[in-house]
Amino acid sequence: MPIKKILIETVVITVVATLLGFANNFINPNRVAITAMRPVAPSASDAELEADSLQGPVVVDREQLKKLVSEQGAILIDARLPEEYDAGHIPGAINIPIELFGEFIDTIEALPRDAWLIGYCDGPPCDKGKNMAEELFYMGFMRVAYYDAGMDDWKSSEEVQR
Amino acid sequence: MKFKKMLLLMSRFILGAVFIFAAVGKIYNPAAFAGDIDNYRMLPYILVTLMAVVLPWIELICGVLLISGKWLKGSSFIVIIMNIMFIVAIASAMARGLDIDCGCFSVGSSASRVGMVRLIQDFLWLALAVIVFRDAIKKRA
C-alpha cells in the first residue's frame, strides 16, 4: 500500500482546506467566531425584569440572577439530575430534575405564583434550564427565567453549595 | 473488466457529486453548520467551530478530486475517514435519543433530521469510497 502517497495527499488536502476555510470564514457574513466559549442567549432587559408578567421565559445572566435572588427572593431551580445537584449547585437552589417533572408536581404547585422562578443547567448546550422555564410558564407561572450560562459560568467565579 | 471500470467511474462521480453538494451550503453558512455540529453534543466548542470552518472545504476538495480523477488515494482515504466519523456521530445521536438536524447536506432549519435513512446513506457512501480507494492503491503511482 502506498502509505506515503496517501499521507502526503491527505495532509495537503487538509492544509489547503484549512486555509480556504479560514479565508472564507473571515470574509463570510455568516461567519462563526472561533472560540472555546459557547455563545449564550442574550439576557433580559431591565424592563422585562421589572414586569409583573412576561410573554415567555426570559434569559438572565449571573448578575441579574444574583439581583433577582437578593432583591426579589427569586427561587432557583436546578433542572439537572440529583447526583449532579449533589455534586455542586448554586447556593439556595432546589432540585427538580426535568426528567422527573411529573413526580415533583406537588412541589411545583406549592411554589408561590408571584415569585421569580429561575431554572438552570450546566450551560450550553444543555437546555434543561430552558425546558424547565418553559414548562413552568405553561403551568401559569408568570415570572419565569432561565440562567442560560448555567453552572459552568457560576462555578467560574461564585461559591458552590454541596 | 468493463463492469468494474463502470462501477469505479460511477462510484467516483456519485461520491464526488454528493460531497460537493454537501459542502456548498455549509461553506455558505459556517455559523449554521457550527450549530448543527454542536447539537450532536460530542465535541468541545473550539473543535465545533474549527470543524464548521474547515470540514466543508475538505468535502469540496475531495469531491472535485474524485470527479476529476486526480489524487484518488488521498481523497478517497479522507472520504472513508469522514464517513466513519459521520456514522459514529449519527449512531451515537440516535442511541442518545437526540432529535436533531443532521447537518448532512443542508444546514439550519431546512436540514433533515438524523435517523436510519442518513445512517444507511453514509454506509453506502462508505462502500463507494472503499471501492475507489482499493482501486487507487492498486495502481502504481
- In the numeric block, the cell 436510519 is attached to B116
- CB contacts < 8 A (A, B): 93
Contact across the interface for B73 and A2, Cβ inside 8 Å: yes
Measured CA to CA in angstroms, residue B64 lies from A4, A106, A160, B4, B54 at distances of 22, 61, 53, 22, 16
Question: What is the structure's pLDDT at B140?
Answer: 55
The closest of A93, A72, A73, A71 to A154, measured between CA atoms, is: A93
Using CB atoms, which residue from B30, B44, B75 is nearest to A28? B30
Is the pLDDT reported for residue B105 higher than 90? no
- Of A100-109, B5-14, B91-100, B130-139, the range with the lowest mean pLDDT is B91-100
Band the pLDDT of B29: cuts 50, 70, 90.
very high
Q: How far is B2 from chain A (nearest CA, A)?
A: 24
Q: What interface predicted TM-score (ipTM) does this complex get?
A: 0.92
∠ CA B29-B48-A130, rounded to 5°: 90
Q: Does B54 touch chain A (CB under 8 A)?
A: yes
Is the pLDDT reported for residue A7 higher than 70? yes
CA dist B30 and A145 (Å) reads: 30
CA dist B9 and B12 (Å) reads: 5
At B61, list the grid cell.
476538495
pLDDT tens digits along B48-87: 999 999 999 999 999 999 999 999 999 999 999 999 999 9
Contact across the interface for B137 and A9, Cβ inside 8 Å: no
Band the pLDDT of B108: cuts 50, 70, 90.
low
Is the pLDDT reported for residue A151 higher than 60? yes
Q: Does B78 touch chain A (CB under 8 A)?
A: yes
From the CB of residue A20, how many other CB atoms can be counted at a distance below 10 Å? 18
The closest of B21, A8, A65, A70 to A78, measured between CA atoms, is: A65
**Cβ burial A120-155 (10 Å sphere, 16+ → b, else e):** bbbbbebbbbbbbbbbbbeeebebbbbbbbbbebbe
Length of chain B: 141
Q: Which residues sit opposite A59 in a β-bridge?
A: A146
Question: What is the structure's pLDDT at B109?
Answer: 54
CA dist A3 and A131 (Å) reads: 50
Q: Is the peptide bond preceding residue A57 cis, with omega within 30 degrees of 0?
A: no
Q: In terms of pLDDT, which residue wins out, A29 or A43?
A: A29
Mean pLDDT, chain A, integer = 92
Question: What is the structure's pLDDT at B141?
Answer: 47
Question: What is the structure's pLDDT at A45?
Answer: 86
Cβ contact A108:A139 at 8 Å: yes
Contact across the interface for A13 and B75, Cβ inside 8 Å: yes
Is the pLDDT reported for residue B138 higher than 70? yes
What percentage of chain B exceeds 70 in pLDDT?
94
Band the pLDDT of A24: cuts 50, 70, 90.
very high
- Of A55-69, B49-63, B103-117, the range with the lowest mean pLDDT is B103-117
Is the pLDDT reported for residue A16 higher than 80? yes
Is the pLDDT reported for residue B111 higher than 70? no
With H, G, I as helix, E, B as strand and everything else as coil, classify residue A140.
coil
Chain A residues with beta carbon closer than 8 angstroms to that of B50: 34
Using CB atoms, which residue from B29, B32, B73 is nearest to A5? B73
CA dist A26 and A31 (Å) reads: 7
pLDDT tens digits along A72-104: 999 999 999 999 999 999 999 999 999 899 999
Q: In terms of pLDDT, which residue wins out, B133 or A40?
A: B133
The closest of B11, B35, B15 to B25, measured between CA atoms, is: B35
CA dist B140 and A1 (Å) reads: 10
